[in-house]
Amino acid sequence: MWRDHLTEIIIFTGLFLLVSAMGFVAARWRAPRDMAHLDEWGLGGRNFGGWITWFLVGGDLYTAYTFVAVPALMFGAGAAGFFAVPYTIVIYPLVFLVLCRLWSVSHRHGFVTPADFVRRRFDSPALALLVAITGIVATMPYIALQLVGIEAVLKTMGVTGDTALARHLPIIIAFAILAAYTYQSGLRAPALIAFVKDTLIYVVILAAVLWLPQRLGGWGAIFDAADAKFAASPNPNDGVLLSADNQLQYVTLAFGSALALFLYPHSITGVLASRNRDVIKRNMSALPAYSLLLGLIALLGFMAIAAGVKPLPGAREGTVDSNTVVPVLFDQQFPDWFAGIAYAAIGIGALVPAAIMSIAAANLFTRNIYKEYLKPDATPAQEANVSKITSLVVKVGAVACIVFLDPQFSIDLQLIGGVVILQTLPAVALGLYTRWLHRGGLVAGWAAGMGLGLWMLYQIPNAATGRKHFGGSAFPLADFGFDTKKTIYVGIVAVLVNLAVAALVTLALRAATVADGTDGTEPDDYFADEGDPRVTPGGAPGADAAREPVG
């Protein structure tokens, strides 16, 4: 009953209203002379310094869903869920140099999206369209998942209804407010709110890891409780350590997820909003603070085991909603007022990434579909306007996904999303270093990787829920004819095939001397920094160089 959780609900609502007010005020924060430009609405003026970028990108990558789903995975499967830690360690050295190149070339040419870069680099609107659509398709379910994070919290506070509409009403209201201030303030809103969100998260998690182990008999007892639970379960692949068969999956999932993370449009939006290369490099050293946080959050899953948490029932009879593990743990172990703060941290934690993701998806639509195909002579002000409206549409779509479809569908889609977005790696990431791959080869590789990845995901059953397809991302190598029980992350296989096909088709097209277009970038563009005299001012009429070949 919600009345038992009144204190929690009041604190949750109060903090939610506070950040909503901040979201609207953000329009005037570091305000430009002219907000009617996509650089301002969609990239916050491309002028964020080290601290803002740290909060913004941290709030962007480590989402509410992560905070809810990773401990839920630890609760259910043990060590395999800890992949999030190596994943978020490997990512920063991996992209340390790559993102600087992307930032520089985007700064020099006024690119707003990764697809803008691909179009100019490979002289191929078709390839750019593929990259844009891939980005939008991968991002949409991710936004919907943020709602799953909020729902887990609301459910624990007893805010449920008898009808589908009543149950979803709080989320619809929350997203309507989010949509309104994102519309008004653009990227400045999540940047400002991220300060509150991350402060709350750090406070809650530090309190949890200092306070809960004492109540539960110490860390040793927590790990032993988890060990006992997994030893009693019939599943051979759970446990506090990895089994012989899931180590390959663990490593490839961590590495593949790291490769995918900065291909997501919302990550790139956060990076492009920074002021210069130095800000990015310093952040690559500072962002792992969030990885430590994530590692501790993951261990909340084991604390829930030690505390004997029972997750709340799921949407259908006989299922459990494992995403409620952490909220229930807080409800049991914390005083009401502090549980309220913790829930607010998760709820607000959903708003920041949801806002950035919808902005990133809207920018992709505006730059690579609207401006490319519908209205090539759009002014920067018209671009900003289209992006604002698209961000509203995207959010309505995300809410509709949750209200009208089984939330499990969004979770499946997000799983697919990682595999899907990885298929833009050859064009976006390798494209920053080499133009050797032919644009035709890149399209062929994309199609091959996408086809194989989706087929593999379709083949994977989920024993726990009894579903036959899309049951996970661990593909049994036995299905390829190997005599082993080992599994591997689908995304890695798909992207390797993608690269191989891209290379073979490139050789074939070169042999047939098929035209390869003109590279619109120069080697020096990849090192341009703040204050580069060659930078095209985005605001000048007719100076949108990203749309014209360089002379």
Contact positions toward other proteins, by CB under 8 A? Answer: 47, 79, 82, 85-86, 89-90, 92-94, 96-97, 100, 213, 218-223, 240-242, 247, 250-251, 254-255, 278, 281-282, 284-286, 288, 291-292, 295, 299, 522-524, 527-537, 539-540, 543, 545, 548, 550-551
Cβ–Cβ under 8 Å, residues 359 and 187: yes
Tokens (6 digits) for 165: 């509409």
Smaller CB distance to other proteins: residue 131 or 253? 253
Smaller CB distance to other proteins: residue 241 or 478? 241
Tokens (6 digits) for 48: 């964020």
Return d(Cα 78, Cα 75) in angstroms, integer.
6
Cβ–Cβ under 8 Å, residues 301 and 229: no
Please state the length of the chain. Answer: 551
Q: Which SS3 state, helix, strand or coil, does residue 48 take?
A: strand
Where helices occur in 366-424 by DSSP H, the ranges are 380-404, 407-422
Q: Least separation, in Å, of the C-beta of 94 and other proteins?
A: 6
Return d(Cα 35, Cα 50) in angstroms, integer.
22
Q: How far apart are the first and last CA of the chain?
A: 68
Smaller CB distance to other proteins: residue 479 or 524? 524
C-alpha 204: how far from its chain's center?
22
Smaller CB distance to other proteins: residue 30 or 510? 30
Q: How many CB atoms lie within 10 A of CB 157?
A: 22
Smaller CB distance to other proteins: residue 293 or 360? 293
Q: Which SS3 state, helix, strand or coil, does residue 541 take?
A: coil
H helix and E strand count, the chain: 21, 2
Q: Least separation, in Å, of the C-beta of 178 and other proteins?
A: 30
Q: Least separation, in Å, of the C-beta of 52 and other proteins?
A: 16
Residue 214: is it exposed, middle or buried by C-beta count within 10 angstroms (0-12/13-18/19+)?
exposed
Smaller CB distance to other proteins: residue 315 or 540? 540
Q: Least separation, in Å, of the C-beta of 520 and other proteins?
A: 11
Q: Least separation, in Å, of the C-beta of 260 and other proteins?
A: 15
Smaller CB distance to other proteins: residue 400 or 540? 540
Q: Least separation, in Å, of the C-beta of 45 and other proteins?
A: 9
Smaller CB distance to other proteins: residue 81 or 449? 81
Q: Least separation, in Å, of the C-beta of 468 and other proteins?
A: 30
Smaller CB distance to other proteins: residue 122 or 250? 250
> DSSP secondary structure string, 131-189?
HHHHHHHHHHHHHHHHHHHHHHHHHHTT---SSHHHHHHHHHHHHHHHHHHHHHHTTHH
Smaller CB distance to other proteins: residue 6 or 251? 251
Smaller CB distance to other proteins: residue 126 or 543? 543
Q: Least separation, in Å, of the C-beta of 240 and other proteins?
A: 6
Distances (CA, A) of 414 to 139, 296, 299, 378: 8, 23, 23, 33
Q: Least separation, in Å, of the C-beta of 523 and other proteins?
A: 8
All residues at 6 or more sequence positions from 337 whose CB lies less than 8 Å from its CB, including other chains = 7, 8, 11
Tokens (6 digits) for 233: 């379960």
Q: How many CB atoms lie within 10 A of CB 288?
A: 17
Return d(Cα 490, Cα 487) in angstroms, integer.
9
